[in-house]
């Protein structure tokens, strides 16, 4: 009888131990997430809206770890400014008109006109005045008149000093009694034919006082 009771007690204890092991090894209840799906969707929408640039705004380049270590990487996404074209000059180069040069051969002889004298002719033809006087048999200071003819020597000495008496090219205003010949003598080395050509005049044309002439 005692033996039977002992066996029953052992069976009961074994059954209790087995039941306890089975309960400890069972699967724990699932953990319910604290954030539902609607909350996640709302947060994602707000994040996307915050990152979208508004109209007229320029999105700043995102600073990454690489850009912090490399200074050039931070501005790689920035728009490079376009170079401004250099303005072209609106002023065009103008050609400088050189004054026309009139050259005439020295004649073998020359007849004096009103307002001309021997030193005037010597300057005009680049001849030393003493040589011109001696060649024509005149003493120094001999007074000559319009219509007198001078023989022009070849191979004589040149005029000493500056042949020009006034600066030219320039303009000259005619006064009473002027002729192209007398005006040429006022400038020294200017030929009256050059003045006539520069002003489209006849060499013996009568000049009107007040007329402005171009002196080449």
pLDDT by residue (tens digit) across 151-170? 999 999 999 999 999 999 99
Asked whether residue 123 carries a pLDDT value surpassing 70, the answer given is yes
On the question of pLDDT at 141 being above 90, the answer is: no
Burial tier of 116 (Cβ tally within 10 Å: 0-12, 13-18, 19+): buried
* pLDDT range class, residue 7, cuts 50, 70, 90: confident
In CATH terms, the superfamily for domain 107-156 is LysM domain (3.10.350.10)
109: helix, strand or coil: strand
DSSP symbols for 126-139: T--HHHHHHHTTPP
Name residue, tokens 């002023």: 91
Domains 107-156 and 163-216 share a fold: yes
The average pLDDT across 29-53 equals 51
pTM above 0.75, yes or no: no
CA atoms within 13 A on the CB side of 43: 6
Q: Indicate the domain borders of the chain.
A: 107-156, 163-216
Residue 116, pLDDT > 80, answer yes
pLDDT at 17: 64
163-216: CATH topology is: Membrane-bound Lytic Murein Transglycosylase D; Chain A (3.10.350)
């Amino acid at each position: 009888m005692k033996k039977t009771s002992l066996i029953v007690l052992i069976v009961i204890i074994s059954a209790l131990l087995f039941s306890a092991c089975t309960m400890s090894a069972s699967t724990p209840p699932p953990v319910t997430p604290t954030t539902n799906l609607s909350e996640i969707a709302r947060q994602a929408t707000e994040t996307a809206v915050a990152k979208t640039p508004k109209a007229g705004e320029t999105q700043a380049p995102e600073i990454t770890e690489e850009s912090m270590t490399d200074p050039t990487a931070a501005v790689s996404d920035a728009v490079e400014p376009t170079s401004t074209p250099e303005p072209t000059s609106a002023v065009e180069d103008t050609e400088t008109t050189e004054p026309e040069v009139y050259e005439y051969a020295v004649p073998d002889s020359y007849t004096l006109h009103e307002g001309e004298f021997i030193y005037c002719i010597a300057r005009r033809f680049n001849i030393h005045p003493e040589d011109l006087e001696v060649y024509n048999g005149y003493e120094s200071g001999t007074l000559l008149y319009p219509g007198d003819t001078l023989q022009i020597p070849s191979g004589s000495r040149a005029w000493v000093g500056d042949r020009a008496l006034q600066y030219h090219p320039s303009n000259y205003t005619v006064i009473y009694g002027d002729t192209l010949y007398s005006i040429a003598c006022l400038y020294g080395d200017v030929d009256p034919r050059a003045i006539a050509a520069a002003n489209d005049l006849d060499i013996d044309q009568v000049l009107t006082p007040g007329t402005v002439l171009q002196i080449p």
